[in-house]
Amino acid sequence: MRDRRGVTAVEFGIVALPFFALLMAIIEAAMAFFAGQLLDTGLNDAARLIRTGQAQAGAYDAARFKQEVCNRIPALINCNGSLTVDVRVPTSFSSANFSIPTASGNFDPAQTQYNIGGSSSVVVARAFYKWPSFANLLGSSLSNQADKTILLVSTAAFRNEPF
């Protein structure tokens, strides 16, 4: 009869790496989805300031609107530098362009705009956040940018109230 005392340790050694890689990928996906939901909530709450005319009355610029979005997002998302807002006024809902501003396939914040429109204008407000990807050690990750980050995008399309 052979000695089988070390079999469990050897078997665990074989399955440990794939198990922990899968566990990290699941945690990363869950955190990215949670951060995306926080971004959606923050943008929708801040977009109400545009929809009701408060941003127009307060002469909000892009930095102020970005700060309003950040104020509505818990500390999980670091707004310093990674968050970008894009607010545009298409002529109608059907003519709205929802494509991501890119250069060479990567998000380009320089192509964003800030126009909050006037009374009864159609407005498309978007927030972009580069979420860091940490589970890309095995060559596979959720990252969709060249810098190995996950671009989270939140969009709110609405018609301003007649203010």
Q: Where are the domains of the chain?
A: 7-159
Give me the pLDDT at residue 140, please: 59
Give me the pLDDT at residue 106, please: 85
2/23: higher pLDDT: 23
Give me the pLDDT at residue 1, please: 62
In this predicted structure, the answer to whether residue 129 has a pLDDT above a threshold of 90 is yes
**Reported confidence tier of residue 138, pLDDT bands at 50, 70, 90:** low
The pLDDT mean for the chain works out to 89
Give me the pLDDT at residue 80, please: 78
What integer is the mean pLDDT of 56-77?
Answer: 92
Instruction: Give one DSSP letter per residue of the chain, joined into a string.
Output: ----TTHHHHHHHHHHHHHHHHHHHHHHHHHHHHHHHHHHHHHHHHHHHHHTTHHHHTT--HHHHHHHHHHTS-TTS--TTTEEEEEE--SSSTT------EETTEE-GGG--B----TT-EEEEEEEEEEEP---TTS--S--STTSEEEEEEEEEEE----
In this predicted structure, the answer to whether residue 115 has a pLDDT above a threshold of 80 is yes
